[in-house]
Amino acid sequence: MDLLEERIKTLNPLTRSFLVEWLNVLHSMPGIELLSMIHRYLEGLFKFLGDDNEDLRQKTAALLSELLREISEAVDIQRRLGVGFGALERSLYGEAAGVPAPGLGTYEAEAGHWAPAQAAHLDFARMFAILVPFLGVPELDVRQTALHWLNEFIILARQLMLPFTAVILNSVLPALAAPHREIQTAAETTNSLLMQLVSETNLAALAEHTQLDIPAVLRTVLAHCRSDAVDTRMGCLDWLFKLHNKASHVVVADAALLESVFRCLSDPVEDVVKRGLQLVAQIAATSDADRFDALMADILRLFAKDRRLLETRGALILRQLCLALSPEDVYRSFSQVLEKEGDLDFASTMITNLNLIMITSAEMVDMRKRLRQFEKDGQVLFVDLYRSWSHSPVAAFSLCLLAQAYEHAFNLLQTFEDFEITVTLLVQIDKLVQLLESPVFSYLRLQLLDPERHPYLLKCLYALLMLLPQSSAFATLRNRLSCVSSLGHLNAAPRSPDFFSTKDKFKKLTSEIRWVDLLTHFKYVQGRHERARKAYLSASSMRNQKRSRRGMPTPGSATTSSAPTLPVSAAAMAAATSSASLPAGGAMAGATSDSSGGGGAGPGVAGAQGGVRRKRSGRRSTGGNELWEVGADGAGSPPPPVPKK
């Protein structure tokens, strides 16, 4: 064996073949125990597998297969006899760990209570250290054989392999995405066996030198979360699930955990995103209230940093969170953070998305039902959401419709006259009108048949109609309201005895809500948005002036601080844009006729939202050279100059 160990590192294929023949001869002799000395020649045999000589590779593979079979038999015999490896297991775990009690099989009894393999010394730690370098080699046969040996070691040695989990995963996780299917299959088997071993093991009851180093395993898994391979990333998330189940306090304490998990939420593969969301939900479900709120705040910060993620994956992430967790808890936590959000544009966009999901998502059925019933829990939920929903006027109005608080919804719409009607607002109203035709608001459409019980509902819809430009949404809502008005004779029908009691019941339910305070809060939040828009336009104007002084091209000034977050048709967009620039119908026609005729302003010029108004100078008008000023809403522009006669 000394000579063999010295020559085993040779590169000559003939010498290698000669050594394999000698090992076969020694292995066949009954008086020689090669397993106890396997660490002296195992590394050389694995190197032989990568030789170019086909005959040498076949002989080496056959010898390695025979050695592995003999190791398996030796473990089985020593367990039954309670000697060697079996005695070591029993001293560590006892019968509670599934180690069989000592006893002789038929083969051992016939051999006089002695078997050739019972004296073999099996050092799995030393053999595993020899295997590790071959788990990542490019040669297909060598790598596949090393993974096969590793699988057998996990099955045979069981908990003795737990201390090497981090080292194993460092080689197995990249192999899950190997280009060869044979390597992928072997790596999947190894990963499954190791995960099953960790699941079945009581980590708290392990002996000192068989402990699972969870921090080391976690560092290895988090490092491979950055891999470009999808299968590797999925395997990492599976291991994070398992580690969190076994030792959640250790996993959550790692500062790099959430960073890696949130990176998975931006993954281009949807399966990775869903798996990452399941992990986030599991962490949140096992956390206390403060930790839960902090986790939801981290998700909002992620959206604030990556607006593209909010646009492309926002709905998927939010719906999966509501599916895995309580939707009310998720929305309450988001609402608390967004109420104090300093970035008003992000807060408005986020509330708009949350509101759309709340109205349309199937996961929110119970939450919508609780709001519609408007009992004690529903009222508390309504108030909690309302304070942050005030960042988006249409979202706050939609919330009132869901809660059937039609009187407050009408009061909300009346405050719109105090603020600028932007294109974004009109686009969102357009989308809301489309949603009113969905099954979610079927109860609302039925309540239109009873205007005496719900008088403010009709007022709300007519107010929306007055705000909308004449677009497809305007026609849809007008047709719906005209159907109701044509059935006015139904209101003369006799009322049931509980008609007035129902109205009194709703007033009694909502008597504890401070509606005036809510409306004041809405005005305050919208006032902040109004000031932020003006500050943005002022800063943009100053930048344009500086650019023009430097001779640089001046970009077009924006009328809103953010793009519309809800899609609409091109016709509705054009109508909304024309509506925002010309608040009163026929304004341009009135201005044109006035400038040509030299008379007073036309009837469409002075509208409710301001607009273009003529301001006469102290002298007599000459040829239409009067002064013009822009209304308070910033809309309108002076008419083109009229040439003098």
Tell me, letter by letter, the H, E, C secondary structure of 532-549: HHHHHHHHHHHHHHHHHH
- The reported pLDDT for the residue numbered 541 is 82
- 401 against 112, higher pLDDT: 401
Residue 192 corresponds to which tokens in the numbers above? 């499954």
Closest to 42 measured CA to CA, from 133, 118, 163, 117? 133
Query: What average pLDDT does the segment 574-596 reach?
Result: 37
Closest to 429 measured CA to CA, from 380, 396, 387? 396
Query: What average pLDDT does the segment 574-603 reach?
Result: 37
- The reported pLDDT for the residue numbered 486 is 65
Most trustworthy range by pLDDT among 200-214, 333-347, 492-506: 333-347
Query: What average pLDDT does the segment 471-482 reach?
Result: 90
Closest to 576 measured CA to CA, from 588, 587, 568, 566? 568
Cβ(202)–Cβ(158) under 8 Å? no
The pLDDT tens digits of the residues spanning 503-553 come to 544 555 566 788 999 999 999 999 998 898 888 888 888 887 777 777 666
Share of the chain above pLDDT 90, in %: 41
pLDDT-based confidence at residue 36 (cuts at 50, 70, 90): confident
Most trustworthy range by pLDDT among 187-191, 200-204, 338-342: 187-191
The pLDDT tens digits of the residues spanning 264-316 come to 888 888 899 999 999 998 898 888 888 899 999 999 999 999 899 999 889 99
Residue 456 has pLDDT above 60, yes or no: yes
- Distance in angstroms (rounded) separating the CA atoms of residues 129 and 141: 19
Closest to 280 measured CA to CA, from 455, 268, 297? 297
Cα maximum dimension of the chain: 132
Share of the chain above pLDDT 70, in %: 75
Q: Give the lowest-confidence range in 195-204, 355-364, 616-625.
A: 616-625
- The reported pLDDT for the residue numbered 2 is 87
Give 364's contacts (C-beta < 8 A, 6+ positions apart). Answer: 322, 327, 357, 358
Cβ(338)–Cβ(388) under 8 Å? yes
Closest to 265 measured CA to CA, from 308, 326, 229? 308
Query: What average pLDDT does the segment 222-236 reach?
Result: 92
- 452 against 565, higher pLDDT: 452
Closest to 630 measured CA to CA, from 609, 603, 612, 644? 612
- Distance in angstroms (rounded) separating the CA atoms of residues 117 and 282: 48
Q: How would you classify the pairing of strands 613-615 and 627-629?
A: antiparallel
What residue ranges define each of the domains in the chain, with the CATH number in brackets? 1-92+120-200 (1.25.10.10), 213-286 (1.25.10)
Most trustworthy range by pLDDT among 192-201, 385-394, 532-541, 549-558: 385-394
- Distance in angstroms (rounded) separating the CA atoms of residues 511 and 515: 9
- Distance in angstroms (rounded) separating the CA atoms of residues 146 and 134: 6
Q: Give the lowest-confidence range in 337-346, 427-436, 555-564.
A: 555-564
- The reported pLDDT for the residue numbered 116 is 61
Residue 94 has pLDDT above 70, yes or no: no
pLDDT averaged over every residue in the chain: 79
Residue 316 corresponds to which tokens in the numbers above? 């998927």
- Distance in angstroms (rounded) separating the CA atoms of residues 420 and 335: 25
Residue 560 has pLDDT above 50, yes or no: no
Residue 575 corresponds to which tokens in the numbers above? 């109508």
- The reported pLDDT for the residue numbered 29 is 84
Residue 457 has pLDDT above 70, yes or no: yes
- Secondary structure (DSSP) of 120-184: ----HHHHHHHHGGGGG-S-HHHHHHHHHHHHHHHHHHGGGGGGGHHHHHHHHHHHTT-SSHHHH
- Distance in angstroms (rounded) separating the CA atoms of residues 34 and 63: 12
pLDDT-based confidence at residue 103 (cuts at 50, 70, 90): very low
Residue 200 corresponds to which tokens in the numbers above? 């079945």
Q: Residue with structure tokens 């030299």?
A: 598
Closest to 568 measured CA to CA, from 416, 427, 406, 358? 427
Cβ(560)–Cβ(533) under 8 Å? yes
Angle formed by the axes of helices 214-224 and 230-246, nearest 10°? 150
pLDDT-based confidence at residue 115 (cuts at 50, 70, 90): low
Give me the torsion for CA of 135, 139, 141, 143, rounded to 10°: 10
- Distance in angstroms (rounded) separating the CA atoms of residues 560 and 500: 46
Give 139's contacts (C-beta < 8 A, 6+ positions apart). Answer: 49, 50
Cβ(130)–Cβ(43) under 8 Å? yes
- Distance in angstroms (rounded) separating the CA atoms of residues 645 and 634: 32
- Distance in angstroms (rounded) separating the CA atoms of residues 352 and 428: 9
- Distance in angstroms (rounded) separating the CA atoms of residues 24 and 573: 83
Rg for the chain (alpha carbons), in Å? 38
Query: Residue 629's beta-bridge partner residues?
Result: 613
- Distance in angstroms (rounded) separating the CA atoms of residues 242 and 536: 49
Closest to 295 measured CA to CA, from 342, 259, 346? 259
Query: What average pLDDT does the segment 494-510 reach?
Result: 51
Give me the torsion for CA of 250, 255, 259, 262, rounded to 10°: 50
- Distance in angstroms (rounded) separating the CA atoms of residues 107 and 104: 8
Residue 444 corresponds to which tokens in the numbers above? 């609302």
Count of helices and strands (H, E) across the chain: 31, 2
Q: Is 340 exposed, middle or buried (0-12, 13-18, 19+ CB in 10 A)?
A: exposed
Cβ(237)–Cβ(279) under 8 Å? yes
Residue 234 corresponds to which tokens in the numbers above? 């999925």
Most trustworthy range by pLDDT among 105-119, 140-154, 556-570, 630-644: 140-154
Determine which helix (DSSP H) or strand (DSSP E) holds 615, and give its type and residue range: strand 613-615
Residue type present at position 505 = K
- Long-range pairs of 590-595 with CB within 8 A, sequence gap ≥ 24: 591/639, 592/639, 595/624, 595/639, 595/642
Predicted TM-score (pTM) of the model is: 0.71
